[in-house]
Amino acid sequence: MSMAQGNNYDYHRTTFDGERTERCVCLVRTMKWFPVLFIASVIGWSYYAFVIQLSFFTVTNIVQRILFLLFYHGVLVMFLWSYYQTVFTDIGRVPTRFRVPRAELDRIVRATNEEEQKQILESFAKELPVVTRTLNATVRFCDKCRLIKPDRAHHCSVCGVCVLKLDHHCPWVNNCINFTNYKYFILFLGYALLYCLYVACSTIPYMELLWTGKIDGRFHILFLFFVSIMFAISLVSLFGYHCYLVLLNRTTLESFRTPIFRYGGPDKNGFSLGKLNNFQEVFGDDWRLWFVPVYTSMGDGVVYPMRCYDEDAEALLGGEQQHNRGGTENLHDFEAATFLNEYGNLMH
């Protein structure tokens, strides 16, 4: 009788703990949207302050009012479009072929030392296009997702999965900045900076009128100026830094943790192809779509062309690809370069 009561008690406690955990998870997921709601609220308030308080209640010249509103709404549309794409674009997930089978996992668990585990992973990774390694020259394996990490992929502790070309997890968009939305993120920063600068510059003449008492005091205009300046100062450094990373073909993680290559060792510039090609890898080769928040990034997020090509792969294409450690300045065919690297990886 006592055993039955004990089992019954344990069952109910387990059920209660499960429900409590589920509620906590839901609460955490909801709280993650607070920064996004905050940004949306600031944008909504700034719209009211600029359009209603400034343009309609303060600006008296009709032509000036029309020009104010036309340019403002143009920038706002691009800003919101980029932000939406950054927030709601799905993260780049690792393909299933990188997942280590159950039988191989059992072999890794039964391995008696690290060298044996390393050999098992190397054997499985022979069929995969991966060239980066860990500090001890081992294939990069995620024990949480139980898969081989593709080049430039990392595990996001917030999302709980490995993400292709992970740059960082941004709480302001409640999403990982990664291969699939990196272009949108940079455009979001750029248009947000342009938005703040335009709003601040538009309110400067009326700040003087408010200060001298020539127009009635309007709290929203005064506050709009200081808020836009504050956000602009924050954005200019972040936007500049990511423009710098794009031109070097480097992620935030790679700038702090140098990628280690199977051949050549650590190299921060291992993925750099020259400034133009680096830019096109993120923004695409159609200049008409560079500043439009639509997907134009090149590649699949799994395989990346590199500065230094393997000699066997180079010979496959008849030596047409020149070995250039200074950068590949004339990389016009991204798909050919990607194939070249993948073939070279599989040859070893």
- Contacts within 8 Å (CB) and 24+ apart, 242-247: 242/185, 242/186, 242/189, 243/186, 245/167, 246/186, 246/278, 246/279, 246/282, 247/275, 247/278, 247/279
The yes-or-no answer on residue 201 being catalytic is: no
Q: Which of 26, 142, 145, 170 is catalytic?
A: 170
Any residues with CB less than 8 A from the CB of 269 and at least 6 apart, and which? 248, 249, 250, 307
Rounded alpha-carbon distances, angstroms, from residue 346 to 50, 78, 165, 178: 58, 43, 21, 25
Evaluated on CA atoms 156, 162, 166, 171, the torsion sign reads: negative
Rounded alpha-carbon distances, angstroms, from residue 34 to 25, 157, 195, 261, 304: 15, 19, 22, 40, 35
d(CA 294, CA 52): 31
Any residues with CB less than 8 A from the CB of 104 and at least 6 apart, and which? 120, 124
| Residues taking part in catalysis | 170
